[in-house]
Structure 1
Amino acid sequence: MTATHEEDDPRLRRRTVTEVKGRMRDLRNNLALLNRQVAGRLELRDVDMDCLDTVSAAGPISPTALARATGLHPATLTGILDRLERGGWIVRERAQHDRRAVVVRALPDRNGELYQQFSTMNTAVDEICADYTTEQLQVVAEFLRRSAVAGREALEPGA
């Protein structure tokens, strides 16, 4: 889905693309600060939050798949899962399809506590979205999806 933009003013386009990249950097920084703040309130480490978010989004998930998704060494991940399990954030259980395999699942009671910590940000985003048409939001969502894919691809060896 590559569009041509010959009719665009090249200087304005370069400035706008630079601004988009700068705003993405600002957003990343602010979300990282928010995540650290929430992690501190919940007595979690940043890496714990990353793993918990991945488990919540993708779970139930095997520890191997979680290690791959987070880029963590399996031994490091074991310690993180131990902390999350002790804190009542996740549970490790036998996989239904193979009783020898283990999957990690987030516990809904604690997830509600986590989501509550982000309620101010979620409300703010809802208010921002209210200013845009559905069609505009679809463009923003597609841009963010493609940016996330580009980020994942940049992690691949040789990228």
Structure 2
Amino acid sequence: MDSTLPGAAPAAKSAATSAPPASVVRRRRRLTARIKDGLRDLTVQHSLLNHQVGTHLDLRDADLECLDLISRYGPIGPTALAKRAGLHPATLTGVLDRLERGGWVVRTPNPNDRRAILVQVIKEKEAEVAFLFSGLNRAMDDVCSGYEDAELVMIADFLLRTARAARVATDDLADS
């Protein structure tokens, strides 16, 4: 029966469209706040660790960040690297000059475009960086060992989706 007709019984709300109880909403907000606080703490701790690693390697924070990006996404062109790092191309030139002088990276011709170059990490130097991060990597292995595979899949998905959301927020802010 059409519930818009006079005298018709109101349509039952489906479970999917009904609002959750206030206690559920409050609990969800508290849990979400804990996650956001945890991510903020993680960001600070990771930044502090990166700074210490950079100090040991005589690298500036931006240099270490770019070195990591080159290691993960390289060989990579300077324009793509500048975009990933959120740096002005002129600033990136200085970073690459320092990394190249320090023996961390090499610039090579792009085989697909003779006018362009690619930057790649010198493999022998990666071991130095890996050694300084080995304490965190061991600790992360210990943390992960306390979770089932299905939980690790969910955590990995959450982190990747959160990183994607952060990239979108960064791009939106840069465009405004």
TM range (shorter): over 0.9
Q: What CA deviation, in whole Å up to 9, does each residue of 1:26-60 have, x standing for no partner?
A: 00000000000000010000000111011011100
Length-normalised TM-score, structure 1: 0.93
Alignment correspondent of 2:7 = none
Secondary structure of 2:114's match? coil
Alignment correspondent of 2:28 = 13
Alignment correspondent of 1:66 = 81
Alignment correspondent of 2:8 = none
Mapped partners of 1:14, 1:79: distance in 2: 44
The reply on whether 1:128 has 2:146 as its aligned counterpart is no
Query: Which contiguous aligned blocks of 4+ residues in structure 1 show a shift greater than 3 angstroms?
Result: 3-8
Structure 2 unaligned segments of length 5 or more: list them. 1-15
Aligned partner of 1:101 among 116, 127, 148 = 116
Alignment correspondent of 1:115 = 130
Mapped partners of 1:25, 1:127: distance in 2: 21
Mapped partners of 2:144, 2:41: distance in 1: 18
- Seq. identity, %: 47
Root-mean-square deviation (Å): 1.9
Alignment correspondent of 1:84 = 99
Structure 1 position 98, deviation (Å): 2.1
Aligned partner of 2:60 among 38, 45, 49 = 45
Mapped partners of 1:134, 1:6: distance in 2: 30
Structure 1 unaligned segments of length 5 or more: list them. none
Mapped partners of 1:81, 1:67: distance in 2: 10
Mapped partners of 2:92, 2:35: distance in 1: 34
Higher gyration radius (CA):
2
Secondary structure of 2:48's match? helix
Alignment correspondent of 1:145 = 160
Q: What CA deviation, in whole Å up to 9, does each residue of 1:44-103 have, x standing for no partner?
A: 000001110110111000011111111111111111101000111100000122232100
Alignment correspondent of 1:36 = 51
Secondary structure of 1:88's match? coil
Q: Which amino acid aligns with 1:124?
A: A
Mapped partners of 1:30, 1:11: distance in 2: 28
Mapped partners of 1:119, 1:75: distance in 2: 33
Mapped partners of 1:24, 1:112: distance in 2: 28
The alignment of Structure 1 onto Structure 2 pairs a total of residues equal to: 157
